[in-house]
Amino acid sequence: MKYEEIMAAIKDINGPWSNAACMGYCLIAMRRAGLRPTAQRRVLLALEGVFDDVSVEEAEKAEKAGYANKEE
């Protein structure tokens, strides 16, 4: 199997998830929370950078700390 075939076969292994979907969820949540459009744009720009700098494991750890209302 060629690399492209392997990538095509596993691309939706965990469902239709993507950075774009994550950003869409975030945008919908910010709108529901009543954030102003300028704040929404700032958050989305920061989120876009986080995708490159933070691992999935680090993000999950941060999310759990957020619900506990503490930063690590």
Tally of domains in the chain: 1
> Taking 70 as the threshold, does the pLDDT of residue 72 lie above it?
no
Instruction: Tell whether 31 is covered by a domain.
Output: yes
Angle between the 19-32 and 37-53 helix axes, to the nearest 10 degrees? 150
> Taking 80 as the threshold, does the pLDDT of residue 56 lie above it?
yes
Instruction: Tell whether 43 is covered by a domain.
Output: yes
The residue with greater pLDDT, 66 or 72, is 66
Confidence band, pLDDT 50/70/90 cuts, at residue 14:
low
Instruction: Tell whether 41 is covered by a domain.
Output: yes
- The 10 Å Cβ neighbour count of residue 35 is 15
Per-residue model confidence as pLDDT tens digits over 59-69: 888 888 877 77
pLDDT of residue 59: 87
Instruction: Tell whether 72 is covered by a domain.
Output: no
Tell me the residue range of the domain where 28 lies. Answer: 3-67
